[in-house]
Amino acid sequence: MKTIPISLIIGFIALFSIAQAQETLVISDPDAAIKQARLLYQQEKYSLAFPYIKHVFHTGITETNMPQQQREEVQFLYISCGLQMGLPEMVTLAEDYLKTSNHNTYKQLTAYYLGEYYYQQKDYVNATTNFAKVGIANLSNRQIANMKFHQAYAFFVQQDFEKARPLFNAIRQLPKDPNYIDANYYYGFLAFSNKEYGQAIECLLIAESHPDYQHVIPFYLTELYYFSGDRDKALSYGESAIKKNGQYYDLQLKQLVGHLLFQKREFARALPYLEAYAAGAEKIRREDLYELSYCYYEAKNWNKAIQGFKQIGGAKDSLEQNSMYLLADAYLKMNDLQNARNAFQFCAANNSNLSQKEVSLFHYAKISYELGYFDIAVSSFQQFINQFPGSGYVNESRELLVSTLANTSNYKDALQLYESLPNKTASATALLPRLLYGRAVELMNDQRANEAEGLLDRLMDASNNSSFLPYALFWKGELSYRSGKMDDAINYLQQYLKAPQKNGEVNPTNARYNLGYAYLKKNNTNWQKNNLNG
């Protein structure tokens, strides 16, 4: 069988003796009990004072011979000690006491303790209501400071910042106050919200080293340095905080540091921070995704850049236009013309940045041309030339439009546009024989032989005409024959037959046939015998 240590037995006896002494004192001498309770209350030993006053409250205040002033004190001591001990049954008693008591000091002190009770219960509305009834003349300096801080915090929670601000400000200037650091912490946030960045930094630096705040404040200080314009300080402070690990706002810090590095165009350094943020965030803003994608773009990681930029569309704003522009360029880097063309189309449809719209519309038309979408290329080049007549791409657009019109067999417009080009490049002049020949054929089909012959003459004099010269010689012979110029017909057709080419009606058989009839009309039977039968 276990024995109880003698020390515990002595302790039990002592406690029992004290309890018996208290009860005896209360019963035998209520005045002495009140005096003892008063003394312990003044020493803020509320739980020790409570037993002395409890019995007196329940029995003594009903006695007719107890003076009113003493009755008021008993009620006050009982209620205030009970409130400080967190006894909920005291709330109703306190509220009734505030309504019935005529003792102004006790009433105000009771309101203070009731406010403190509600504050501890996180009932901040009732806390501030009761604190408002308290006169500071009846409070100690410690109680005054304590109430101001609790009032401030209660107003802060209720988002009544105008009332909270001066109260926090009073406490934050008392370095020896137990709420000094907390007051600086909350006042710092209020200063932050009012854009008083210098004062906010000052306050949060005071609270920074406190264990409750050391893993929270670095993010806000980094933001404050950033908003105050000291971006280098924000960057160095933020990076230093991330290296310490354990930050409550670790992802937000990495987002902000990555953003700062992005703004400094240090994309390689920004990339790991933005990657870490994107990997950990539940939802990422379009702006952050753009910065991350741009870092991939700068790193020539085209696949990841494309994957990111593709997700930013749909808003018709400058961010979308920038993204589509870079997306198109990334596709071009991968030689994916089809997707590049689509991205340029989206960018060209956005009016946020006219410079990007200009470049994108040009490239959309050009890639459409290169991929063989000639009808779309024609309308796009025409739209570009009309919208951006002063663009540095206009001359190239006109030359490409000439080629596009030729590819759609619109030789009339193509030749007219060619003629209007102020500065014709080598690639443009290389198109001229084709344009002249195509337009000449159109004119011959329209029975406008004289105009057609003039174009054929130009073709024969043009440089780089070797591909179309045989056809021109054939048709010159044909037109000369039709107009009765047999010598010219014979000359052109003979030249054609020296290096004949075939294209529809243009072929050696038809050339010999016409040549034969030309000789016939000149009565040259020897040539007829040698060539028509061959």
- Would you kindly state where each structural domain of the chain is located, as residue ranges? 448-534
Residues linked to residue 503 through DSSP beta bridges, in sequence order:
506
The answer to whether 12 touches 42, Cβ cutoff 8 Å, is: no
The answer to whether 391 touches 358, Cβ cutoff 8 Å, is: yes
The pLDDT of residue 2 is: 43
* pLDDT category of residue 385 using cuts at 50, 70 and 90: very high
* pLDDT category of residue 60 using cuts at 50, 70 and 90: low
Q: Does residue 18 surpass a pLDDT of 60?
A: no
pTM above 0.85? Answer: no
- DSSP single-letter state for residue 503: B
- Nearest Cα to 376, choosing from 416, 427, 350, 342? 342
The pLDDT of residue 183 is: 97
Amino acid sitting at position 148:
K
Q: Does residue 10 surpass a pLDDT of 70?
A: no
Q: Does residue 13 surpass a pLDDT of 80?
A: no
* pLDDT category of residue 220 using cuts at 50, 70 and 90: very high
448-534 falls under which CATH superfamily? Tetratricopeptide repeat domain (1.25.40.10)
Q: Does residue 529 surpass a pLDDT of 70?
A: no
For 339-376, give one letter per residue: b (16+ CB within 10 A) or e.
bbbbbbbbbbebeebeebbbbbbbbbbbbbbeeebbeb
- The share of the chain scoring above pLDDT 70, in percent, equals 92
d(CA 208, CA 200): 12
Backbone angles phi, psi at 503, to 5 degrees: -165, 95
Give the lowest-confidence range in 28-37, 152-161, 517-526: 517-526
Give mean pLDDT, residues 438-450.
93
Q: Does residue 502 surpass a pLDDT of 50?
A: yes
* pLDDT category of residue 55 using cuts at 50, 70 and 90: confident
- Nearest Cα to 296, choosing from 312, 281, 308? 308
